[in-house]
A and B are shown apart, each in its own frame.
Chain A
Amino acid sequence: MFKKLIAESMTKSPWIYHVNTGSCNGCDIELVACLTPRYDVERYGFKLAGTPRHADIVVVSGPITSQSKDRLIRTLEQVPNPHCVVTIGSCPQSGNVFKGSYSVEAPLEKFCEVDVAIAGCTPKPEAIIEGLYKAAQILKKKREAMQ
C-alpha cells in the first residue's frame, strides 16, 4: 500500500531546485512567473527548495558557462534519487546564440542525463508548467524502477 502511495506522491509534490548557469535571466523570470497567482504551480504541489538535498527536479537555465560547469555537476551529484533534470530554454539544450563561444559548454547532455528539455527563448510559462508536469511523471517511473 505504502509503495503505491509513495509512488503516487512522487507526482504530486515535486520540489524544484533552480540552477542558473549564466542565463540572461529571461528564463528565470518566466520560472518565477509560474509561481505567481496567475499560474500558481503550487496547485500541483510544486515548491521551490533552498538546497539540492531537498530537490526532486533540478531546473537548469543558461548555456553552462565554463565557470559554472563544475559547480553545476557538483550540485547535481548532491540531489538524492530519484530525481529529474529539466532544462529551460534553448541555451542549455544547444548553446543558443552563445554556441561556439570559448566559455560556453552547452549542451547539458554532455554532462548528465536530461529528462525534459523545454525549448524556447524564452519558453512560455504554460510550456514550463507542462514540462515540469512531465518531469513529475518521470519521477514516479524512476521511483518504481528503484524498487
Chain B
Amino acid sequence: MIQFYEHFPVISVMGLFLAAFLVEIFGNKNKTIRYGISLIACLAAAAMTLYLIIPVFRDGKIISYWMGGWAPEGGYAFGIGYEIDGLGLFFGILTSITFLMSVIFSKRYMERDAHLGHYYTLFLMLAGSVLGLVFTGDVFNLFIMIEIMTFAAVALTAFRHGKHPEALEGAFKYLVLGSIGSSLTLLGVALLYLSTHTLNMAQISALLSSQGFKPTTLFAFAMMLSGLAVKSFVVPFHTPAADAYATAPASVSTLFSGMVNKAGIYGMIRLTYILFRVMDRESVMLLLALIGALTMFVGVTMALAQHDFKRLLAFHSISQIGYVLMSVGLGSVLGLYGGLFHALNHTLFKGLLFLTAGAVYYATGTTNLDKLGGLAKRMPATTACFLVGAFAISGIPPFNGFASKWLIYQAAYEKAVQSGNFVYVIITITALLVSVMTLASFIKVTSAAFLGQQPASLKEVKEVPFSMQLPMFIMSALCLICGLLYRPVLTYLVGPAVSAAMDPSAYIDTMMGSGYAITHGVLPSSMGFAMISAWDPRFWLLLFIIVTCAVTLVAVSDARTRGPVSLPQPGETDAKHATFFGGEKSTHSHVSGSDLFWGFKKDLKGYFHVIGDLHSGRTNDYALWVVLGVTVIMLFTFIFLS
C-alpha cells in the first residue's frame, strides 16, 4: 500500500522542472503568469518537502520510489530509484527553505531586469536539480542533476552580463571548472558501474561492503570525491565561487550558498559515509578535515582583503563550508552533528546576508564598500537583519552560528585528544581563530556600509519594499530560533540525518529488500556521543533581557538625577551635535572598508601577497589548481585506502 506522501519527492522535483518549461512557454510576456507559476511551483515543492518531515523524521520511515515501477529483479536494481532518508531530507529542507526565500525576494529585486522569463526558467531548473540531487538514490541520476545544476548556475551567473560585463567572466570560470568537476564525477560513476554492475546507491554500498576495495573502486572514489569537492567549492577548487557569487544577482547568490555548495557537501557525505563507509579510516577522513581547515583559513583571509560586499560574502561562504567539511571529516558522531547543524545554520545566515547585500544593491546600485556608508539611518530594517546575520556568522552567542561552532570545537578537540594526533589540535585552533577573523571582516562591513558616515550620494536612499524585507525577517527569526532552541533542532532535525549517515543498513534494506544489508556485511557504526559541557542560550538570553530592561528602566526613571540627553535637531547640524574634528568644521571623511585592519595586514603581508598572487584570476591557473587538488586526493586515496 503506497501512502500518498510517497509521491511527494517525485512530484516536487518534476513540478519544478515542469514549471520551468511552463514559464518559458507562457510567461515570457506576462509577468503575473510568470511569477505566479514560479511562486506556486516553489511553494508546492517546499510544502511537500517539509511535509515529509512527518514520516521521515518523526516516524523514522525511509521513502523509496521506483520510477516507472522498475523494482529490483534478481537482486539487481535496474531502474532509477528515489530514496529519501534522513540525510537526503535534511538537505532537501535546506534547499526548499533557500529557494522559497529567494523566489519571494526575487519579485521586486529582479523587477528592473529584462528577460525575466529566462531568469525564472533557470531559477526553477536550479531548484529542481538540487532537490532531485538530494532525493535520488541512483548515482547516474545524481550526475545528471549535477550537470543540470551546473549549467543552470552558470547561466544565472551571467544573467546580468549586460550591466556587469564581469558577470560573463565569472560565468566562464564557473563553466570551465564546473565542467571539469562534472567530468570527474562522470568518470567516477562509470568506474563504479564497471566494478559493481549497478548504479543504485544502496546496492553499491552493500556490494562495496562485501567485496572490499579494488583499485578501480578506489580510483572511482578519488574521482567522485574530487568532482563533488569542485561542486562544493572547497580549497583548492574554490576559485570560481568568488567570481560567480559576486557577480550573480543576490537572489541567485543566495541559492548558490544555500543549496548549490550544500549539494556538493551532501554528495561528499553520501560518498564517504554511505557508499564507501570510510568514516572510521582516520587517514582519509583527515584529508577531508585538512581540506576543511585550509578552506576556512584561505576563505576568511581572502575575505578580509575584499572591499566588495558580495565578494566578501562569497569568500565567507567558502570559509563556512570549510567548517562543515572539517567537522564532517572528523568522522565522529558529534562531528557529524556539528557539521550538519552548521550546514543548516550556514544556509540561514548566509542566505540572509546575501539577501541584505541584494537589498543594499537594490537601494543604492552598488555593493562597493568604499562607496557605501551610513545606511543604517535610511534602511533600518535591512541593517537590523544584517546585524543578526553578521552576529550569527561570527558566532556571537546566542545566535545559531555559535551553537554549531561550539559543537564543532568540542568535536574537533575531542577527536584530537582521543586520537592523540596533534594535527587535530592545529585544526581546532584554526577553527577558533577563523571565527574571530570572520567577526573582523563583518565589523568591516558593518562600519563601512551600515554605520559610519553617510556620503552625500546616499542621502536619498530608500528602504526596500516589504516583499524583500519579508524573507530577510523570516531568515533572521530562524537564525535566532536555531540558536536558542539548538537542542530540539539537534534532536529532531539533525539527529535523524546523522543516524541515517552512520547506519545505512535501513537505507539498503528499504531499497533492496530486507536482509540485504546484513548478508553483505554492512554493520552500523556506533551512535554514542556525549556533549562535553553545557550551554543554555535560552536561560542566558532571558537573564540578559531582564537585566537589560532593569538597567534601562533605572536609567529612564532616574532621568532627573542623571544628566539630560541632548538630541540633534533634525535637518540642521549645529556645532554642538557636529562630529568632533579637532575644532574644524565637520566634513565628510569616511573610513572606508579597505582602510581597516591595517596593522593586521601589514604584519601578515607576506602571506597576503602570496595568497593574493595565487588568486590570479586566470582560468588556466585555476584549472591547474583543480588538477593539483585531484592529484593530492588521488595520492591520499591510494596510499591510505588500499
Contact = CB atoms under 8 A, between A and B. Distances in A.
Does a CB–CB distance below 8 Å link A and B in the complex? yes
Contact of A80 (B558, B563, B582, B585): B563
18 contacts: A2-B561, A3-B561, A6-B561, A52-B580, A53-B580, A68-B583, A71-B583, A71-B584, A74-B575, A74-B578, A74-B584, A75-B580, A75-B583, A78-B575, A80-B563, A81-B563, A146-B564, A147-B560
Interface string B106-143: 00000000000000000000000000000000000000
Contacts of B564: 81, 146
B583 A72 contact: yes
A109 interface: no
Contacts of B584: 71, 74
Interface in B556-602: 558, 560-561, 563-564, 566, 574-576, 578, 580, 582-585
Interface of B: 558, 560-561, 563-564, 566, 574-576, 578, 580, 582-585
Closest 3 CB pairs of A and B: A71-B583, A77-B575, A75-B583
Contacts of B583: 19, 68, 70-72, 74-75
Contacts of B582: 71
Contacts of B578: 74, 78
A73 interface: yes
A78 B558 contact: no
B566 A78 contact: no
Interface residues of A, number: 20
A36 to B, nearest CB: 25
Nearest to B566: A80
A70 B582 CA distance: 12
A103 interface: no
Interface of A: 2-3, 6, 19, 51-53, 68, 70-75, 77-78, 80-81, 146-147
A71 to B, nearest CB: 3
Contacts of B574: 77
Contacts of B563: 80-81, 146
Contacts of A19: 583
Contacts of B580: 51-53, 75, 78
Q: Binding site of B, secondary structure by majority: helix, strand, loop or mixed?
A: loop
A2 B558 CA distance: 10
Nearest to A79: B576
Contacts of B585: 74
A20 to B, nearest CB: 11
A71 B582 CA distance: 8
A53 B582 CA distance: 11
B617 to A, nearest CB: 44
Nearest to B583: A71
A75 B583 CA distance: 5
B588 to A, nearest CB: 17
A73 B583 CA distance: 8
A81 B560 CA distance: 14
B204 to A, nearest CB: 69
A125 B582 CA distance: 26
Given A6-B561, A81-B563, 8 more contacts: A2-B558, A19-B583, A74-B575, A77-B574, A78-B578, A78-B580, A80-B563, A80-B566
A2, A73, A75, A146: residue with the most chain B Cβ atoms closer than 10 Å = A75
A74 B573 CA distance: 12
Nearest to B577: A78
A71 B583 CA distance: 4
A81 B320 CA distance: 49
A52 B581 CA distance: 10
Contacts of A146: 563-564
Contacts of B558: 2
Given A71-B583, A71-B584, A72-B583, A77 B576 contact: yes
A19 to B, nearest CB: 8
Contact of B575 (A2, A3, A73): A73
A22 to B, nearest CB: 13
B314 to A, nearest CB: 39
A136 B208 CA distance: 86
A59 to B, nearest CB: 14
